């Protein structure tokens, strides 16, 4: 079945780095862009980053720009996102989300999320 | 950046009511607008894409309309399982932006 599974969350100290992964299955991974969306405790959804289906373009939200790198390996059906210089406000559940492109294809499949807690 | 202003932020309605949620974009986004529902403790799920196209499997009591800067999500005949927080998202231009959410409570 179509599935996205995030991993890499945990407790990390402020100022440190964290690498999140998103593993895809059940569809032609190389045809889809992937987004990361996060949700801080009790708060709304925040778009974080996106990588094109072929890895040729990346986009970042203002909150992580300059601290974040998204990459993908289409041979392994995975997307990784590294966030550096972590801050308290990066504490959130991070979701990876599929994007089939165009007006109709965006954000149709979500992973279950991985929780990141930034704390000393 | 495009700001998405969603209203109301919370509301309470009775079973059978018609509910309307609005998202206003600070600049035109054509119809690159998606609506999501998030039930407590759950992953968001897409309800509507391209402003008005209902996701397969989503009940027909949900409908979306609008273009450019003003969008609405309507739930006709509100049901108990519709208790959730609803979000809009513009994906016309980066950075993508979500509305602040509307929490719908059933009286």
Query: pLDDT (tens digit, 9 = 90+) per residue, A31-74?
Result: 999 999 999 999 999 999 999 999 999 999 999 999 999 999 99
Q: Does B95 sit within 8 Å of A62, measured CB to CB?
A: yes
Q: In Å, how far is A13's CA from the nearest CA of chain B?
A: 25
- Give A38's contacts (C-beta < 8 A, 6+ positions apart): A45, A46, A48, A90, A92, A93, A94, A95, A116
- Looking at the partner chain, which of A60, A103, A113 has a beta carbon nearest the beta carbon of B32? A103
Helix (H), strand (E), coil (C) string for A48-72: EEEECCCCCCEEECCCCCCCEEEEE
Query: CB of B18 within 8 Å of any CB in chain A?
Result: no
Q: Does B50 sit within 8 Å of A104, measured CB to CB?
A: yes
Residue A111's pLDDT is 98
Beta bridge partners of B37: B45, B86
Q: In Å, how far is B77's CA from the nearest CA of chain A?
A: 25
Query: pLDDT (tens digit, 9 = 90+) per residue, A93-110?
Result: 999 999 988 888 889 999
Helix (H), strand (E), coil (C) string for B19-32: EEEEEEECCCCCCC
Q: Does A110 sit within 8 Å of B96, measured CB to CB?
A: no
Q: Cα separation of A108 and A6, whole Å?
A: 16
What share of chain B in percent tops pLDDT 70? 100
pLDDT averaged per 10 residues in sequence order, chain B, 107 residues: 98 98 98 97 97 96 98 97 98 97 97
Q: Cα–Cα–Cα angle for B63, B67, B72, nearest 5°?
A: 35
Cβ atoms of A17 and A86 within 8 Å: the answer is yes
Residue A104's pLDDT is 85
Please say if the pLDDT value at position A89 is more than 90.
Answer: yes
Q: In Å, how far is A76's CA from the nearest CA of chain B?
A: 25
């Amino acid at each position: 079945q179509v599935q996205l599974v995030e991993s890499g969350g945990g407790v990390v100290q402020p100022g440190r780095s964290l690498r999140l992964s998103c593993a895809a299955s059940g569809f032609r991974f190389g045809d889809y862009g992937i987004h990361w969306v996060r949700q801080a405790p009790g708060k709304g959804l925040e778009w974080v980053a996106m990588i094109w289906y072929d890895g040729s373009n990346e986009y970042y939200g203002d909150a992580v720009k300059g601290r974040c790198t998204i990459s993908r390996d289409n041979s392994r059906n995975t997307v990784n996102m590294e966030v550096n210089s972590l801050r308290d406000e990066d504490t959130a559940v991070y979701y990876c989300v599929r994007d089939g492109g165009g007006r109709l294809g965006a954000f149709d499949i979500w992973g279950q999320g991985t929780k990141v807690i930034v704390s000393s | 950046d495009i700001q998405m202003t969603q209203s109301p932020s919370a509301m309470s309605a009775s079973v059978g009511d018609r509910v309307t949620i609005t998202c206003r974009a600070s600049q035109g986004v054509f119809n690159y607008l998606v609506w999501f529902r998030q039930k407590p403790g759950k992953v968001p799920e897409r309800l509507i894409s391209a402003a008005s196209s209902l996701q397969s499997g989503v009940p027909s009591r949900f409908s979306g309309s609008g273009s450019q800067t003003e969008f609405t999500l309507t739930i006709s005949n509100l049901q108990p399982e519709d208790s959730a927080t609803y979000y809009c998202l513009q994906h016309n231009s980066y950075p993508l932006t979500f509305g602040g959410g509307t929490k719908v409570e059933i009286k």
